[in-house]
Structure 1
Amino acid sequence: MLKYKIFLMTAICFFLFAKTYSAPIHPHLSWDELNGSSTTMVVTWKTLSDTSPSRVKYGITTGNYTNTKDGSSFNSSACGYYIHTVKVIGLDPDTLYYYRCGNDTDGWSPESTFKTAPAKGSSQRVRFVAASDTHTDYLNDVQTVLNSIKTQSPDLMILDGDAVTDGGSQSDWNSWFDIYTSLISSTPFFYCDSNHNYSAQNVWDQFVFPQNSNGDEKWYSFNYGNIHFIFLQVINPTAQVAVGSEQYNWLQADLIAADNDPLIKWKFVIYHGNTYAEGAYARNTYVRDTICKLFDQYDVDMVFNGHYHIYERSKKMRNRVTTDEIMEDGPNYQDSIEGVVYVIPGRAGGAPYNPSTSFYTAFNRKGLHYAVVDIEGNLLTLKGYTENGVVIDSCTITCSEASDETPPTVPEAVTYLISGTAKTSGNSGITGVALTLTGTSTGTQTTWLTGTYTFGNLISGTYTITSSKSGYTFTPANRVYTSLNADQTNQDFTGSV
């Protein structure tokens, strides 16, 4: 009898362990197409073992799952998990659903909810939260900020990059998911590439976003009600999006389509590298002279950046030529229909930085922060919050109807780029190489893992590029351009120890 009891207890323990081992982990929500927000929802989760089917059961009342939808899974070597994705289709707009993911054999996630967006073009109220740079060094701060964000009941959540400190560390991602799953299992979540991701495969394996024309998710867009959201790959203050590059051409086509869509009234752009904030980091003036001009041309309302761990809101800025032009100070931005407001929604967990006030600064503050945007019809309200839910900044923008007046065109200056790689003799990129540009224009860059560099927006003139890194000798010692009049690519430096 004793042996039987021991056997029974062992069998029960094994069964419970197997269930736990294969149960869904970290479910979260998104969508994967331009106009999918009101009729679809993508549910993604992980398991430690290979489980099948990947299934979502759902319905409009709690505990009553009248529908099921199966999806697919794959083994992510980067993450060390099986990643499951189910796209639920044919949903009703502006409707709350209850769901669980998993299957009967391996176990189900706890019940959660998702709500579809209002129909495209709807002017009903929409609320979203924007935050940046949670990192995983100060997890108590990450949790504190998230607790405050959850009290806002956002319709969707945007993080402007650097969710974790090491994008290639699944341990970092697990720590982040352990905290954020309580929000993103019921609130669609969207993210942009950033320097601490290192474009790590962990990001692209664990999240599902709309794909661009290249078939990847490094830049993408979607519509929500009467709002158009654009996410770009500008990972730090030296990142560039050159005129004519793939990302630039995609962005221009996307903005033209949104600008010509009568159902879209608001446009937001999200990328990591800070454009209007400086102090700990120089601001990204490279994109100011390329994509920021597109923002002006196609009436983008607000840009969200990260990287600089502060809260900052700019004055309404315009970049028609190569200089910054202040259109209006705020806080209500009522007198100028032109210009873009640039916001860093704040350090949502990363190390604290000190803000530096400049001519374009409307408001900034050190500390833990996030931003809440409410849109209803033609009115946008932005509020900056502390981790304790205290409002520290507020502004409004009124969306004007399109004007029949054709804006003046400003001829683009002819510019060129110089690009290449700092590499070993075996063609491996060298990180941490300082590249210095002198001559008609000046600049500095430090290479990342791939060793690549690009100096763009260079007018015709004379330039010299030198490379240096402690312990390395580079061939050639420098590259000289006596009369730059064309793009110069493959301008490599080979380093030896």
Structure 2
Amino acid sequence: MINICNVKVTSIEKSHNVYAIYLSKDPGYLNCTKTECKKHNKDGKCEVKTCTGSLQFHVINIRTDIEFVFFGGGFETPCIFSRTKPINFDNPNKPLYGHLSSIDSTGTSMRLTWVSGDTKPQKVEYTDGKSQLSEVSTFSQHNMCSSSLLPSPAKDFGWHDPGFIHSALLTELRPSTNFSYRYGSDSVGWSSEIQFKTPPAGGSEELKFLAYGDMGKAPRDESAEHYIQPGSLSVIKAMAEEVKSGNVDSIFHIGDISYATGFLVEWDFFLNLIHPLASRVSYMTAIGNHERDYVHTGSVYITPDSGGECGVPYETYFPMPTPAKDKPWYSIEQASVHFTVISTEHDWSKDSEQAR
């Protein structure tokens, strides 16, 4: 479900130092076509005009209050004209963004991971009256990496509280079979009931899977972000149609997952984006430079590409069948395909632990 927030903007027409690049398709509110004179001089000429416009924003539940701020002067010399009162969500503890992953090659167990503002364990209920309690984890600003040499948005201005990440195992399943589930609790609410399909067991014949990397995300409104991949919306739409038609057994997203790169709230937007896919089939991932790399953290490449995340949000949101924390490599079989997932951000030389 797409949530739309309408914001009405009223501004006084005066001269401000605003640095901008004019585009051919400026939003209507910039044209200031609806004006009203608020003050006339002694000659009857208008001295002060006001103009009004409206904007629509796509908002999702990020568990914290939000505000809309109308300003001029650009980002270097901003001047706030007006701001809304804080807007809060009805249920910041609501269980959201559930996504599935495989834990082995049997197709008889799946892991479900979701986000909530509530630290208490919740549960997943699935076919034939089965249920499992969730394990709860999170990460803090202290877990982000920083350096005196480089900026670290994740530890500074890009930090956003991730809430609590819940994870539970669905067991006693059958491979290549459709099931249903819901997750949450009576106290914080429940997700809708979702249909999903287990992947085929290793050694069986046919597998239909999608594989891609570097997808990222894009806003569903006219907002600007520090890292936008416009094609992600059409990619998601095309894949959702394939999943809905039953043509997909599993998905492999190989590196550069959300491109949050230290702006933590963007993980919520990414999880919301992939939910129509990842809640219905196994969504397997591999770590990339934009999730892991940062100076003095043990990554192979000494770059600031993760924005100070150092792999922590990625591994918390996407628990894969890896040997240990910060060892994000694994292998798994589905049908006749053997997948070996490596991390090029960790030592993969001949004598490394990963190569062995």
Q: Is the 8 A contact 2:201 2:333 kept in 1?
A: no
1:35 aligns with 2:105: yes
Unaligned runs of 5+ in 2: 1-87, 142-160, 218-226, 293-309
Give the drift of 1:18: 8.6
1:99 aligns with 2:170: no
Alpha-carbon distance in structure 1 between the residues aligned to 2:350 and 2:171: 37
Q: Report the secondary structure of 2:315's partner residue.
A: helix
For residues 173-228 of structure 1, what are the alpha-carbon distances to aligned partners after superposition, in whole Å with 9 as ceiling and x for unaligned? 1221121111111121111111111242000111111022x455511111112221
TM-score, normalised to structure 2's length?
0.57
| Structure 2 SS opposite 1:179 | helix
Counterpart check, 1:135 vs 2:216? yes
Would you say the 8 A contact 1:167–1:200 is kept in 2? no
1:86 aligns to 2:190 (yes or no): no
Where do 4+ consecutive residues of structure 1 move more than 4 Å? Answer: 214-217
Q: Partner of 2:258 in structure 1?
A: 164
In structure 1, C-alpha distance between the alignment counterparts of 2:89 and 2:335, rounded to whole Å: 43
2:148 paired with 1:148: no
Cα pair 2:133 2:168 within 8 Å, conserved: yes
Q: Report % sequence identity.
A: 25
Q: How far does the alpha carbon of each residue in 1:85-114 deviate from its partner, in whole angstroms, 9 at most, with x for none?
A: 110111122211011011122111122122
Counterpart-to-counterpart distance in 2, 1:92 and 1:135: 32
Check 1:19–1:57 CA distance in 2 against 1; reply closer, same or farther (3 A cut).
farther
Total equivalences in the alignment: 220
For 1:51 and 1:86, how far apart are their aligned partners in 2?
A: 13
Q: Paired residue for 1:173?
A: 267
Note the 1:239-388 alignment, pairs <5 A: 241-249=348-356
Following TM superposition, by how much is the alpha carbon of 1:66 offset from its aligned partner in structure 2, in angstroms? 2.0
CA contact (8 A) 2:215 2:258 kept: yes
Contact in 1 for aligned 2:347/2:354 (Cα 8 Å):
no
Give 2:344's aligned amino acid: V
Choose the corresponding residue for 1:67, options 111, 125, 130: 130
Higher relative contact order structure (alpha carbons within 8 Å, sequence separation ≥ 6)? 2
Q: 1:248 deviation in Å?
A: 1.1
TM-superposed CA distance for 1:19, in Å, is: 6.8
Does the 8 A contact of 2:105 with 2:201 survive in 1?
Answer: no
TM-fit CA distance, 1:71? 2.5
Structure 1 gap segments, 5+ residues each: 1-16, 60-64, 250-497
Pick one of 288, 304, 325 that aligns with 1:194.
288
Is residue 223 from structure 1 mapped to residue 223 from structure 2 by the alignment?
A: no
Q: How does 1:392-407 map to 2 (within 5 A)?
A: none
Q: Which amino acid aligns with 2:255?
A: G
SS in 1 for 2:99: strand
Q: CA deviation at 1:70?
A: 1.5
Partner SS for 1:211: coil
TM-score (norm 1): 0.42
Q: Which amino acid aligns with 1:97?
A: F
Instruction: Indicate the SS of the match to 2:236.
Output: helix
What is the letter of the counterpart of residue 141 of structure 1?
Answer: G
- Residue pair 2:257, 2:287 contacting (<8 A) in 1 also: no
Post-superposition CA distance 1:141-160 (Å, at most 9, x none):
21111101222222111112
**Cα pair distance change 1:118/1:19, threshold 3 Å:** same
Query: CA, structure 1 residues 139+109, in 2 after alignment: closer, same or farther (shift >3 Å)?
Result: farther
